[in-house]
Chain A
Amino acid sequence: MKRIEILKTYKIYIGGQFPRTESGRYYTVNNSEGKAHANVCLCSRKDVRNAVVAARKAQGAWAERSAFNRGQILYRIAEMFEGRKIQFIDELTQQGQTKKAAQAEVNMAIERLVYYAGWCDKYNQILSSVNPVSSSHFNFSSCEPMGVVGIIPDQQSPLLGLISLLAPVIAGGNTAIVLASVDYPLCAVTFAEVLHASDVPGGVVNILTGALQETAPTLSSHMDVNALVTSNLGNEVNTPLQVAAVDNLKRYFDYKQDWNNSSAQGLHFIGDLQEIKTTWHPIEQIGGATSSY
């Protein structure tokens, strides 16, 4: 007799917890055969606002973690992910991908996490500068995370597209609210479980499922979100979000990328979500001693 499978209730991820949506609503995701596969949370605007509160609360402490520690945590995500590869490949194939494509996507997602793990304690060295000003001041510019970042990943790349946007955001000390792919949300929720087991502090990453037309405008117009990152949504979706983002001058980045490409990664994805802060301090100039000896 065929064993009765234990089906999973897909939840959302806010502030390090796995609630269902506060609205009590759901939508059904079908498997590749067109049969009901999961009842996923149809998140509300309130869920988005809750996620922003959680992300803001976590941001300061995350940014103040040592860069080395953030690197270790990102690497830990990759380790946990590696151990659950099969689950992700299963989910991707259930959502219609070929096994081969699913394997490639999962592998690439892990490589990408490792790539950004390595950047955590290096990007600031590359993007910073000591500026030789003409006056008697010590002057330097360095990176600071923008803060709370909204992420709407490529809708057709539910795992790799998500990780490609998320990893540079959190590597740089930002916290994130991710709106998962509407049609293929399963991997995003399972990825939250990986994050949860990887020493990522609660609230650093928040993942919501649901309808973009409901959640995305709330995210893009939210006055406590500092930046918005999207990918391959198309102008029709993008432009209104961009307009709504103006209210608090969110930084807005729309990446047109094929995330399956091994070169769809780089320092600039981290740098885009960093502010440059310049600090001045006078240098004492008294007495006659020079620096020649």
Chain B
Amino acid sequence: MNKKEKWPLSPSLESTQHASIKKQYSLFIDGEWVKPSSGVYFPSINPADESHLASIAHANEKDVHLAVQAARKAFPLWSKLPASERAKYIFRIARIMQEKARELAVIETLDGGKPIRESRDIDVPLACNHFFYYAGWADKLAYAFPNRTVEPLGVAAQIIPWNFPLLMAAWKIAPALATGNTVVLKPAESTSLTALKLAEIIEEAGLPKGVVNIITGFGDTGAAMVNHPDVNKIAFTGSTHVGKIIQKAIAGSSKKATLELGGKSANIIFDDAPIDQAVEGIVNGIFFNQGHVCCAGSRLFVQENVAEKVIRKLKLRLKSLYVGNPLDKNTDIGAINSKEQLETIESYIAIGKKEGAEIYQPTCNIPKKGYYCPPTLFINVAQSHRIVQEEIFGPVLTIQTFRTVDEVIQKANNTPYGLAAGVWTDKGSRIFNLTTKLKAGVVWANTYNKFDPTSPFGGYKESGYGREGGVHGLSAYVKLS
């Protein structure tokens, strides 16, 4: 065989036959599937090929009110249930999710465009484990808050984004239930399906009616949830812009909130780092889930004396990334979640070029239909460039260089965000110097984008407040006295 001839990849498609998606989904309120009072349904689109997956109900203010009422009605019973019994319900949810894991993964990929490898190996197992982890907390809360009386807050309104639809639902619902709250959850409009499958699982698990209500819709639905007077707690994951609107809306009220917002996280490579591993870490940091990750390592800082080498290796690695059908197990970078998001990313790429940065994109065979964006590097960027300052939420990496530790700490912290950071070096004392001085809620040293139910996640500064995961994640849902 001619050495220059490329070996084509054989497609290895995950089957969709086992995934059952209804033609139309109503709202899950008070344990029943009810039609939206507006009568309006909107389409859920597969971003990989723009095909229609299902019709989703658009909940309005009336529906939100019904859902909050149902949650309020269920609260006394649920919160007074012996904690060990509450735990058993949550364990059940975890188990049924595990049983249906493959189906959930396929639907997640169909609905959101993420590579099946990621939904199968990361999103869905983490979501199941999150329920399993918090189930066990339900009857052990006194150990989490020594010397304090622990009470649930009441009705939690939870609004989640489209980048990790099922996982975010798990992050929100599991700790809320474990601490005795009842829930009204709204998934993002472009990715409602796995949350609705979760509603079916919750139904199957036999949870008392109204403990979990799942309603679908757009920003207006979310606003009605935030502004509902009978809601005690708002949990929101999404943009910093919307987070601030929510925070203003609840100012002066007794509503408690936790906000997981945007980021522009630094990934820092020192000259003594294992370069090949670091390159993998850079790729995983920014191209995981098409870069639709609030903690994505979107600002790369490379020490000047190895910059040329790192960039050369990174470009080479980008050439081998497979962009395409998310259901293909070969795929590294799947579909951009929606047309709007693709437009946002493309507009930032245009801005980057206009600002004078040097762009690198490997040539890749992008499917004709669907929303795709090749992995993109911007080299020779300045701290003041918009592509360095603003969250793009796509597979776009900016690369800057530095000489000294102090310089890179200052540059890395020079952002209103503070969600995550990465540090790559072989020197232990330097790791701890950086991890203590970087203003970020999560710091990955010699790794990136790792998540676990036991590991608290959340930001500093304008990346929001509160933590999800671990013992610290319980605080978001309890009243202590």
Contacts and interface: CB of A to CB of B under 8 A. Distances in A.
Contacts of A266: 147
Interface string A267-284: 110000001111111100
B244 A141 contact: no
Contacts of A268: 148, 480
B442 A278 contact: yes
Given A248-B416, A249-B244, A281-B431, A235 B454 contact: no
Contacts of B472: 129, 141, 276
Interface string B224-254: 0000000000000000100110011001100
Contacts of B455: 131, 133, 139, 141, 278, 280
A101 B472 CA distance: 40
Please report whether the interface of chain A is mostly helix, strand, loop or mixed according to DSSP: mixed
Contacts of A144: 436
Contacts of B461: 226, 248-249
Among A226, A267, A276, max chain B CB count under 10 A is at A276
A266 B147 CA distance: 10
Interface in B423-462: 431, 435-436, 440-447, 450, 452, 454-458, 460-462
22 contacts: A131-B455, A131-B470, A132-B454, A133-B452, A135-B450, A235-B252, A239-B252, A243-B251, A246-B248, A248-B461, A249-B461, A249-B464, A251-B465, A275-B441, A275-B460, A276-B441, A276-B467, A277-B442, A278-B457, A280-B443, A280-B447, A282-B447
Interface string A41-73: 000000000000000000000000000000000
Nearest to B243: A249
B435 A279 contact: yes
Contacts of B243: 249
A140 to B, nearest CB: 9
Given A139-B455, A141-B456, A280 B248 contact: no
Contacts of A126: 146
B248 A243 contact: yes
A137 B443 contact: no
A280 B444 contact: yes
A28 interface: no
Contacts of A135: 450, 452
A137 B448 CA distance: 11
Contacts of A239: 251-252
Given A131-B470, A135-B452, A279 B251 contact: no
A247 B244 contact: yes
Interface in A8-33: none
B27 interface: no
Contacts of B456: 129, 131, 141, 276, 278
Nearest to A239: B252
Contact of A246 (B247, B440, B480): B247
Given A131-B454, A134-B129, A135-B452, A246 B244 contact: yes
Contacts of B452: 131, 133-135, 139
A181 interface: no
Interface string A135-156: 1010101001010000000000
B300 to A, nearest CB: 18
A277 B244 contact: no
Contacts of A278: 441-443, 455-457, 470
Contacts of B440: 277
A98 interface: no
Contacts of B470: 129, 131, 141, 278
B251 A249 contact: no
B259 interface: yes
A243 B314 CA distance: 45
4 tightest A-B contacts by CB? A239-B252, A133-B452, A242-B251, A131-B454
B471 interface: yes
A238 interface: yes
Nearest to A243: B251
A74 to B, nearest CB: 21
A131 B471 CA distance: 9
Nearest to A235: B252
Given A131-B452, A139-B455, A249-B462, A277 B443 contact: yes
